[in-house]
Amino acid sequence: MKFLRLLLLFVFVQVNAQQGGMWIPSLLKGMNENEMKNLGMKITAEQIYSINKSSLKDAVPQFDGGCTAEVISDKGLILTNHHCGFDAIQNHSSVDHDYLTNGFWAYKMEDELPNKGMVVTFVIRIEDVTTKVMEGVAAISAEVDKQKKIQENISNLTKTLPKEAWQENSIRTFYDGNQYLLFVTETYKDIRLVGAPPSSIGKFGSDTDNWVWPRHTGDFSMFRIYADKNNRPAEYSADNVPYKPKYFFPISIKGVKENDFTMVMGYPGRTQEYLPSYAVDQIVNTLNPAKIEVRDAALKVQDGFMRKDNAIKIQYASKYAGVANYWKKWIGETKGLKKSNAIGVKQKFEKDFLEKVNKAGKQSEYGSLLSDFEKNYNDIKDYALARDLFTEIALRNTEILTLGYKLYQLEQIYNNKGEQSFNDRRNTLINGLGDFYKDFNPAVDQKVFEQLIGIYVKRYPKPFLPSFFENVNPEVLANDVFTKSQLVTYDKIKVLLTGDSKTVLENINKDNGFKVIKAMADGYLKNVAPRYDEINLKNIATQRTYMKAILELSPKSARIFPDANSTLRVTYGKVKGYKPNDGVIYEPFTYLDGVMEKYIPGDYEFDVPKKLIDLYNTKDYGMYGSNGKMPLAFIATNHTTGGNSGSPALDANGNLIGLNFDRVWEGTMSDIYYSPEICRNIMVDLRYVLFIVDKFAGAQNLIKEMKIITAEKKK
């Protein structure tokens, strides 16, 4: 009995401890291969990343800078999320061809739609260049100069390290400046839209369901990479041909079970897993609440208008979704950090850390790191709060102030660089503003302005509040700005920006809207930014040494992964449900049935296309169904973050089974503290993707390109 308990405990620790982390593909062999195999992986590290043979990494490009995609045919067909292709789909849409509402499918290659500026980037190889980057740095004493030297080295190496003419070099830092890796990449520039489901499938559940499990979103779209005749990157040309990949993923429709091994490859953007407790405390108790309060107010105003007026709904839909995405994330993150006692966990880690420092006799090197952090984070608190409030209020959420800030920069450009630069910037500014005003509604923004200036006056640390805002009444100020400022319409701002630099600068300085942003920006740049930067630089240096110490003092077996930095990573775990709250258990799978449960006819988030309802009613799932049901999404313990959207989820054999697109609400804290108990990534089941392409859209031309692995026939 006792033995059994011990054995169970051992199994539990095995399964639960070894999860989380975003690992470097070129280092899996030494660091992770055994663990991955223990978790059930049946392929080798060499099959995932190799520079000699084609490997899985050759099928995982970064998609258009911010997302991930995967190659799924030998004709360069790629799969990513609907929300990653959203802008492209929107750009091709008009009243006559509303692809957002109705979906888009190219039934022949000639029908595929080019996307100006869209790129995908493949990693060719990864090399450690730490020694080269650090050359001559140790001899320098001041932190600022060290950083300068590092930047100089990086820029020289980027230019001189060997690569082919059509490739790029880029060097990125890992472990907070303790390691530098070179990435040699190839960037394809002719990417065409192949298919997208209607938003009622691709964005089903919209903001209400965003960051939430159980989920029923078919969040996918398809593109194709085109290359020149030599299969090399080329700008768009009608003569380009479909790209022949080094590798593409077979798709398995055999289905997954709870506890099956799964891994995700992709380009996670940013995590901060090694912050000290003081920093996490600041995020939980000061910075997140402030940012949430600002966005909460802005979103409430916009939502009120959007619900009453369809034109405003269209104008603000994309902006609203963008703002709401991180608003909702920060709320989940804050809750999760509190509930999991992340600060307490960090404090315990820090206590152990200090003991290790003492044991190793490294007091003089590492003994003061934590007290340095404590002091730095204390010192920076008000500056950091002011910075976040300024950014959220002026630069992100009050449109007229964001626009005003562009004029503020125009003035700075004149002051620093003179007339010619002023003219260039003015012209690009005017040209770019058409798009801004198309989706700008002054009535909405006036209310946002009033609310957010109210928060600014109340929450901005008093010593830094510009005198302009003493005794200001936000409602009166808003009214004054929106009746008098020239920034309110495109026609007026064009007039305002006409003339020589002297006239323009004189006139904008008389503008009531400009005066507001100028007071905010001047105050920020004079009273906040310099000191913030100064303390922040200390924190960066302390963090680098702290990271070095953690790496040095941890046992060899410790799983210490570098924070995300938008480079290619591998994360792995198991398909698994979780317990969000006392008395509640979430299963790891959802089905099409759930779409019908959530269905609200005519609703902008939960409407369902008639054809999908018909397919559900007739259970016409073809080979994609399972036991009479249509699998839709699933969750697992893969450690992902923003940028992992569109990432391939693979089974133990490296076959494609899912398409990553989100995380669960209770686990959004994983950017700061990953807990295998509640952190889960959300994937669309590839069976649902294929069902939509095949049965819903009738695009068998695409299905035929793919390599589909079906369940073995039982004899």
- Which residue is at the shortest CB distance from ligand ASP? 645
Question: To the nearest whole angstrom, how small is the minimum distance from the Cβ of residue 646 to ligand ASP?
Answer: 7
Q: Does 445 help bind ligand ARG (rule: CB under 6 A)?
A: no
x/- site string to ligand ASP, residues 660 to 689, per CB under 6 A? -xxx--------------------------
Q: Does 221 help bind ligand ASP (rule: CB under 6 A)?
A: no
For ligand ARG, the binding residue among 21, 336, 442, 642 (CB under 6 A) is: 642
642, amino acid identity? G
Q: Does 644 help bind ligand ARG (rule: CB under 6 A)?
A: no
Give the span between the Cα atoms of 678 and 662, in whole angstroms.
14
Pairing outcome for strands 708-709 and 251-252:
parallel
Question: To the nearest whole angstrom, how small is the minimum distance from the Cβ of residue 573 to ligand ASP?
Answer: 14
Among residues 219, 281, 382, 685, which one is catalytic?
Answer: 219
Measured over the CA atoms of residue 448, residue 453, residue 455 and residue 460, the dihedral's sign is positive
The nearer residue to ligand ARG, 153 or 565, going by C-beta atoms, is 565
Using alpha carbons, select from 342, 291, 268 the residue that is nearest to residue 672.
342
Alpha carbon of 664 to those of 20, 270, 372, 475, 614: distances in Å? 15, 18, 35, 39, 30
Q: Does 408 help bind ligand ARG (rule: CB under 6 A)?
A: no
x/- site string to ligand ARG, residues 594 to 633, per CB under 6 A? ----------------------------------------
Q: Which does 199 bind (CB under 5 to 8 A by kind): ligand ARG, ligand ASP, none?
A: none
Q: What is the DSSP string of 545-594?
A: HHHHHHHHHS-TT----PPP-SS-EEEEEEB--B--STT--B-SEEEHHH
User: Is 645 in the active site?
Assistant: yes
The nearer residue to ligand ASP, 562 or 643, going by C-beta atoms, is 643
For ligand ASP, the binding residue among 643, 648, 667, 676 (CB under 6 A) is: 643
Q: Which two tokens stand for residue 484?
A: 């008098």
Phi and psi angles of residue 152, each rounded to the nearest 5 degrees, phi first = -60, -50
Question: To the nearest whole angstrom, how small is the minimum distance from the Cβ of residue 643 to ligand ARG?
Answer: 9
Q: Does 645 help bind ligand ASP (rule: CB under 6 A)?
A: yes
Q: Which residues contact 579 (CB under 8 A, 6 or more apart)?
A: 585, 586, 677, 678
Question: To the nearest whole angstrom, how small is the minimum distance from the Cβ of residue 554 to ligand ARG?
Answer: 31
Among residues 55, 64, 73, 83, which one is catalytic?
Answer: 83
For ligand ASP, the binding residue among 543, 641, 655, 675 (CB under 6 A) is: 641
x/- site string to ligand ASP, residues 27 to 66, per CB under 6 A? ----------------------------------------
Using alpha carbons, select from 669, 642, 668, 639 the residue that is nearest to residue 565.
642
Q: Which does 206 bind (CB under 5 to 8 A by kind): ligand ASP, ligand ARG, none?
A: ligand ARG
Q: Which does 643 bind (CB under 5 to 8 A by kind): ligand ASP, ligand ARG, none?
A: ligand ASP
Contact between residue 230 and residue 240 where contact means Cβ atoms under 8 Å apart: no
Mapping DSSP to helix (H, G, I), strand (E, B) and coil, where does residue 16 land?
helix
Q: Does 202 help bind ligand ASP (rule: CB under 6 A)?
A: no
Give the span between the Cα atoms of 248 and 55, in whole angstroms.
9
Q: Which does 640 bind (CB under 5 to 8 A by kind): ligand ARG, ligand ASP, none?
A: ligand ASP
Q: How many CB atoms lie within 10 A of CB 316?
A: 21
Q: Which does 644 bind (CB under 5 to 8 A by kind): ligand ASP, ligand ARG, none?
A: ligand ASP
Task: Give burial (CB, 10 Å; 0-12/13-18/19+) of 345.
Answer: middle
Number of residues that bind ligand ASP (CB under 6 A): 9
Q: What residue has token string 């472990």?
A: 175
x/- site string to ligand ARG, residues 653 to 692, per CB under 6 A? ---------x------------------------------
Q: Does 642 help bind ligand ASP (rule: CB under 6 A)?
A: yes
The nearer residue to ligand ASP, 342 or 369, going by C-beta atoms, is 342
Stretch of 42-50, 203-211, 256-264, 386-394 contacting ligand ARG, by CB under 6 A: 203-211
For ligand ARG, the binding residue among 35, 64, 176, 207 (CB under 6 A) is: 207
Pairing outcome for strands 62-63 and 120-128:
antiparallel
Question: To the nearest whole angstrom, how small is the minimum distance from the Cβ of residue 211 to ligand ASP?
Answer: 8
User: Is 170 in the active site?
Assistant: no
Q: Does 644 help bind ligand ASP (rule: CB under 6 A)?
A: yes
Give the span between the Cα atoms of 588 and 634, in whole angstroms.
5
Task: Give burial (CB, 10 Å; 0-12/13-18/19+) of 299.
Answer: buried
Question: To the nearest whole angstrom, how small is the minimum distance from the Cβ of residue 264 to ligand ASP?
Answer: 10
Pairing outcome for strands 648-650 and 261-266:
antiparallel
User: Is 82 in the active site?
Assistant: no
Give the span between the Cα atoms of 354 and 94, in whole angstroms.
62
Contact between residue 181 and residue 174 where contact means Cβ atoms under 8 Å apart: yes
Question: To the nearest whole angstrom, how small is the minimum distance from the Cβ of residue 642 to ligand ARG?
Answer: 5
Give the span between the Cα atoms of 206 and 211, in whole angstroms.
10
Q: Does 321 help bind ligand ARG (rule: CB under 6 A)?
A: yes
Q: Which two tokens stand for residue 35?
A: 């663990």
Q: Which does 392 bind (CB under 5 to 8 A by kind): ligand ASP, ligand ARG, none?
A: none
Contact between residue 225 and residue 242 where contact means Cβ atoms under 8 Å apart: yes
Q: Which two tokens stand for residue 579?
A: 């317990």
DSSP summary character for residue 341: T
Contact between residue 321 and residue 206 where contact means Cβ atoms under 8 Å apart: yes
Give the span between the Cα atoms of 612 and 598, in whole angstroms.
14
Q: How many CB atoms lie within 10 A of CB 385?
A: 21
Q: Which residues contact 493 (CB under 8 A, 6 or more apart)?
A: 403, 430, 433, 486, 487
Using alpha carbons, select from 519, 526, 494, 525 the residue that is nearest to residue 401.
519
For ligand ARG, the binding residue among 80, 645, 675, 681 (CB under 6 A) is: 645
Among residues 50, 206, 645, 670, which one is catalytic?
Answer: 645
For ligand ARG, the binding residue among 19, 32, 73, 210 (CB under 6 A) is: 210
Stretch of 298-306, 352-360, 456-464, 659-667 contacting ligand ASP, by CB under 6 A: 659-667
Contact between residue 136 and residue 153 where contact means Cβ atoms under 8 Å apart: yes
Give the span between the Cα atoms of 219 and 636, in whole angstroms.
17
The nearer residue to ligand ASP, 69 or 201, going by C-beta atoms, is 69
Q: What is the DSSP string of 569-580?
A: EEEEEEB--B--
x/- site string to ligand ARG, residues 68 to 97, per CB under 6 A? ---------------x--------------
Looking at the annotation, which residues are catalytic? 83, 219, 645
List interacting residues with ligand ARG (CB under 6 A): 83, 206-207, 210-211, 321, 325, 642, 645, 662
List interacting residues with ligand ASP (CB under 6 A): 640-645, 661-663
